Amino acid sequence: MAKKENNNDVLLANIIKGIEEVKGNNIDILDLRAIENTVCDYFVICNGNSNTQVNAIVNSIQKIVSRDLKDKPWHVEGTENGEWVLMDYVNIVVHVFQKHIREYYNIESLWGDAKITSIENKY
């Protein structure tokens, strides 16, 4: 079990790095491990200011995770319109929103039992 946790920590760190490299905003990590019947261990949620920035965030995450961990997402969807892109790394699911779409769906509120860690913007 410790190996899985360590892999999650390294993957999380690389995902956050990918978001920060292209100035993604409002990064939240939802720890779902204590909740029964969840589909993954973590959600990472962030937003960009436009469909161009949303897709840049997705590309940055993919590039960094691929380069550093030799891993790629199992599935990606939503890049066509760049409003809400979901990246499925199996144990970690990344949601990259445009700000207004994130506010509308407010998926953090659906997981009220999750421990939420917010990452400060570095810029």
Domain boundaries, the chain: 2-119
Query: Residue 121: its pLDDT value, please?
Result: 77
CA angle 87, 91, 94 (to 5 degrees): 25
- In tens, the pLDDT along 99-122 reads 999 999 999 999 888 999 999 876
CA 111, CA 109: separation in Å to the nearest integer?
5
The per-residue pLDDT of the chain, averaged, comes to: 92
Topology (CATH) of 2-119: Beta Polymerase; domain 2 (3.30.460)
Residue 4 has pLDDT above 60, yes or no: no
Residue 35 has pLDDT above 80, yes or no: yes
